[in-house]
Structure formats: structure tokens, C-alpha cells
Amino acid sequence: MVLHGFLTIGKRVMEKTSSGNFFEDFEIGSTIQHALPRTVTESDNALYIALTGDRYPLYSYAEFAQSLGYRRELINDLLVFHTVLGKTVSDISLNATANLGYAEVLFLRPVYPGDTLRAESTILGKKENSKSKTGTVYVHTKGYNQYDEVILQFYRWIRVNKHYPDAITEWDEKPEMPSEIRIEEYQPPTELKRTGLNPAITGGKWFFEDYEVGERICHTDARTIEESDHMQATSAYLNLNNMHFNQHLMAHSRFGKRVMYGGHVISIARSLSFNGLENALGIIGWNNSTHVHPTFGGDTLYAWSDILEKKDLSGHDDLGALRIRLVALKNLDPTQPGVALKFMDPEKEKEQYHPNVVLDLDYYILMPKQI
């Protein structure tokens, strides 16, 4: 029998595609080996610069990187993060409604163009949310290079849709997440030679000693995110969450449009922070982060950095760690009077984030000392 030009052959159609995992599908203690390892290249670095405006020469100037002891320029830290995270999306967060947070994100080894990255995640816990329509899943992810060396690891927790929203699962196993990285245990890359730093190349005047705890650096640049920027970035990372890609679906959401990938917001904020932190030699890791409010195509991002802490590194008198609170805002210049991270809401009787704040990131960077 032929129906509208299609031949039916009387056999059951086998489902070959995957719709991803829902809350009920995750098994605590299980480890997922994510598919699609990826070799990162010079062109990936160039595309990342084009999409974010990143200016750190460690990722774009081979001779500068070599003067610091590396074989060549490095793959940008956040490009490594996005690539590893992107591997996990199909298994972990394809059906997520929100990425709720990260903890103890650690960049453990340099990554060079030509390295191949893969990822695996262990399910640590799951908790049904109060309205029972969704649940929170807690995972620990590791990224590896082609030599099976761990180059990155992080915790994150995600709000995930349920297969059957009205069915009560009673899952309530919430693991304890690390509150901060153990910076006292951190050692810089063995290849790194601070003596090779030439501030004429970075354009930076300031070193570890020049920053003061409590200081705020309002980065004077801003960047408007276009839909095309976001689509290219998330495509490059293989981050296929429907919230970022599927306008047909998101037209029926509470926002009525696609939501920007929060990692792209982190990248823009980090790129803006170059102005005032030019001599930074990479991200050590971050303690936690909050995507406070959503970001959409057409929003303009600004950023400021608060210096929270300064740490000497054991065995290194030429390098230090700066703990920074990186805050990104949309459509509001932080130098304007009265702009604050939080305010007291008299109706709810508790502190609330300013409505224009989109990112609150607590992280460490490696900063050279004066010599």
C-alpha cells in the first residue's frame, strides 16, 4: 500500500535516534564515556578569537609562548573547557532546562594545537525538584588528551526534564560539592618560565604585587553578542542543547527565544577582562560560578573584576595566584553610579542579584611577579 508517495512495508519502524537522557535515566555511580573525541587545531583557536575578541597572546603568538617555555601557542583555556563540556551534552544535558552551577573547575595541563580531547562523566547524585516536573543531576567530568592525561576536571549540576513529569520518583541524593579549589596544592606547569615574559608584547603594566585585595577593576570594553556569534560558537563546541539551537521549540518557552550558552558569556567576560589583567598567564581554575540571569542575542556585555585574595605559590617566588570575582552585566555600564552586584529586596527580605547581572564567577588566575 502506498500512502502519499511513501511505501509502507508492514514492518515496525525501529527507532535509531537518541533523544538524550532524562532525569529518570541517570544511575548514581555510573560513568559515561562520551562519544566524539576532537582534535583541536590552530583554526579552532582563530575562530575562538573571532567569536570572543580574546587578546591574550599566550593563545595566538607562538614565539611568545615559546619564550615562556611552551612548545608553541596553547589552546585557550576556555576553548578547552567548552570542547570537553560539549562532549558531555548529548549524554548529560541534552534535556536540561538550566545549567545550575560549576565547582572546582581545574585546568591541569597545557593543551596544544593538534591534541585530541575526550571526556567522561560520573553521576554523583540526583534530586527531584519540589515541583516534580524536573530534577537536578550532579556530575563530575574529566577531560583527557590523546595520552590519557587528565587535562581538565570539574563538577557541575544541571536541571533536567523528566520523561514523565507527573510521576513522583522520590530521588533525593544530593552530594556535597567542593566549596573551592585547594589552591595551596596547585603547581604551575613545569614548562613555564616566568623570566620569558615580555610586557611589551602583552601591553600590561601590572604584576602580582600591583593588585590589592578589595580593588575593583571596571573593564572599559563592552561587546554585543549576535545570534550568529552564539550559533557558531556552540556549533564548534558541539553543544547541541535545544535551548541554544532550536528557535521553533524555544518560541513556546517562557522566554520565547533561544538562550545564549552560559559558557559563551564566561568567554566574553574573560576576554573583556584582558584590559587590566594583560599579564595573566592562564586560568588556574574556578571555585564556583552562577549564571544569574539569561543572556540573549543583541545583549551587550560589560564586566568588572574584584580582587578577592592573593596567594603565594609554594616553591615559586616569581608567580602568584589572584583570586578574582568576575562579574558580567548585560546592557548596563558598571561605571555608572549605583551599580552593585546585589541589593536588598524589601518584599522578599533577602539579597537579590541586580537584574542586569548575568554571571558571577569566582576563579583564580596565574599572575607573574615583578623581577
Per residue, the 3-state secondary structure of the chain, as one string, reads: CEECCEECCCCCCCCCCCCCCCHHHCCCCCEEECCCCEECCHHHHHHHHHHHCCCCHHHCCHHHHHHCCCCCCCCCHHHHHHHHHHHHHHHHHCCEEEEEEEEEEEECCCCCCCCEEEEEEEEEEEEECCCCCEEEEEEEEEEECCCCCEEEEEEEEEEEECCCCCCCCCCEECCCCCCCCCHHHCCCCCCCCHHHCCHHHHCCCCCHHHCCCCCEEEEEEEEECCHHHHHHHHHHHCCCCHHHHCHHHHCCCCCCCCCCCHHHHHHHHHHHCCCCCCCCCCEEEEEEEEECCCCCCCCEEEEEEEEEEEEEECCEEEEEEEEEEEEEEECCCCCCCCCCCEEEECCCCEEEECCCEEEEEEEEEEEECCC
CATH of the domain at 275: 3.10.129.10
Q: Are residues 193 and 174 in the same domain?
A: no
Q: Are residues 198 and 171 in the same domain?
A: no
The neighbouring-strand residues paired with 7 are: 2
Count the domains in the chain.
2
Q: What percent of the chain has pLDDT over 90?
A: 67
R_g (Cα) of the chain, nearest Å: 22
Q: State residue 12's pLDDT score.
A: 61
Q: State residue 310's pLDDT score.
A: 97
- Of 219 and 17, the structure prediction assigns the larger pLDDT to 219
Distance between alpha carbon 103 and the CA centroid of its chain, in Å? Answer: 11
- Cβ within 8 Å of residue 75, ≥6 positions away: 40, 44, 45, 59, 111, 112, 113, 115
The neighbouring-strand residues paired with 134 are: 161
Instruction: Give me the count of residues in the chain.
Output: 371
Is 84 a member of any domain? Answer: yes
Tens of pLDDT, residue by residue over 132-185, are: 789 999 999 999 999 999 999 999 999 998 887 787 888 888 999 998 999 999
Is 351 a member of any domain? Answer: yes
Of the candidate ranges 109-118, 162-171, 313-322, 328-337, the one whose mean pLDDT is the lowest: 162-171
Is 33 a member of any domain? Answer: yes
pLDDT, mean of residues 87-94? 90
Closest CA to 320 of 370, 368, 371: 368
The CA distance from 144 to 59, in Å, is 20
Is 68 a member of any domain? Answer: no
Q: Are residues 103 and 198 in the same domain?
A: no
Q: 82-108 b/e with 16+ CB inside 10 Å = b?
A: bbbbbbbbbbbbbbbbbbebbbbbbbb
- Cβ within 8 Å of residue 347, ≥6 positions away: none
C-alpha cell read off for 21:
537522557
Q: Are residues 116 and 237 in the same domain?
A: no
- The domain of 287 spans 189-371
Q: Are residues 229 and 328 in the same domain?
A: yes
pLDDT range class, residue 366, cuts 50, 70, 90: very high
- Of 264 and 129, the structure prediction assigns the larger pLDDT to 264
Q: Are residues 166 and 199 in the same domain?
A: no
Q: Are residues 30 and 167 in the same domain?
A: yes
Is 160 a member of any domain? Answer: yes
With beta carbons less than 8 A apart as the criterion, state whether 323 and 310 touch.
Answer: yes
Is 174 a member of any domain? Answer: yes
Helices 262-272 & 227-237 angle (0-180, nearest 10): 110
Residue type, 367: M
Is 60 a member of any domain? Answer: no
Q: Which of 123, 154, 178 is the last residue in one of the domains?
A: 178
Q: Are residues 117 and 212 in the same domain?
A: no
Q: State residue 228's pLDDT score.
A: 87
Tens of pLDDT, residue by residue over 202-258, are: 999 999 999 999 999 999 999 999 988 888 988 889 887 777 888 888 888 888 888
Phi and psi torsions of 99, nearest 5°: -90, 115
Residue pointed to by grid coordinates 541524593: 173
The CA distance from 207 to 366, in Å, is 10
Closest CA to 259 of 239, 236, 286: 239
Q: Are residues 120 and 251 in the same domain?
A: no
- Cβ within 8 Å of residue 364, ≥6 positions away: 181, 183, 186, 283, 284, 285, 286, 287, 311, 321, 322, 323, 324
Q: State residue 10's pLDDT score.
A: 54
